[in-house]
Amino acid sequence: MNMSTAQRVPTDLETDRSIRRREGRFTVSSANRLARVTGVLFVIATAAALAAAALLPDVTGTDSLTHVSDNPNRMAGAALFYLVAAFTSAGIAISLYPLLKQWNEGLALGSVVFRALEAAMYIVAVVSLLSLLALSRKFADAGTADQASLRALGDSLQSGRDVATLAGVIAFSIGAFMYYVVFFQSRLVPKWLSGWGIVGVALMMTACILALFSGDPVTGYTLLIVPIFLQELTLAVWLIAKGFDSAVVPWSVGFGSDVPADTGEAVVSPTFR
């Protein structure tokens, strides 16, 4: 037989890895790598949102269009950072989905859907901001007679931005609640941390309800927002520094029978006690 045409037989290690990929199982190293990626996404999303808020000029009040026209670069920078925050927010749920679906596929998929919806609403809010920027240029060149109508249009754009932001925060609250419930059930992170997330999301949803009925921006309810803000920063640090701690997570970690002995690679699959 010609050795160049002989069919190669997969090794035991290659066969085992192929089975694990089909079954959606994770090794300890791959699960913790996913945790670090998710933690970094949390940091980027939070930093981008804070940078956008710091750059954004005052877009409320009767002189909002004047403030916007005087600070076009700050407006553009804020819009860019809001877009970064939008895409990374959706990326958090997307990165977690392959692992979370091992415990509850419905909640894992739901978190992706709602955090993607959150990103879409933030993009709508950014479009409103950029529209305000374009309108402010016309306002600067307009006569006194036209400025009143342009102010009214600017107020409408700002109201639309507030509504889109509120819808985005509501979507965030629902999506985050879903993956925090999976975290709590599966112990992928300590229960005190996932429980903190559930309480923080509940407070955030309370802020959304108050904003919905009061007509005030949801960002004005600082005391109700701070708990989930601090929790997400803590979770990000935990995921980057410790990953999914096998000491507290009910994973079955097998050697030998699950993996060839010469690899020393642990297989992670969810089990419930």
The phi, psi pair for 267, rounded to 5°, reads -100, 135
Burial level of 158, CB count in 10 A (0-12/13-18/19+)?
A: buried
Q: How many CA atoms lie within 13 A of 87 on its CB side?
A: 5
Q: What is the mean pLDDT of residues 186-205?
A: 93
Q: What is the domain partition of the chain in residue ranges?
A: 25-270
Element (H, E) at 100: helix 72-100
Measured CA to CA, the distance from residue 183 to residue 74 in angstroms comes to 38
pTM, 2 dp: 0.78
Which has the closest alpha carbon to 30: 182, 257, 243, 262? 243
pLDDT tens figures, 221-263: 889 999 999 999 999 999 999 888 665 444 443 333 343 334 4
Top mean pLDDT of 25-29, 41-45, 124-128, 214-218 is at 41-45
In tens, the pLDDT along 18-56 reads 434 444 455 666 777 888 999 999 999 999 999 999 988
pLDDT at residue 267 greater than cutoff 50? no
Per the listing, tokens 């990165």 go with 95
Are 128 and 158 in contact, with CB atoms under 8 Å apart? yes
Cα(201)–Cα(195) distance, integer angstroms:
10
Top-confidence residue, 117 or 24: 117
Higher pLDDT, 76 or 29: 76
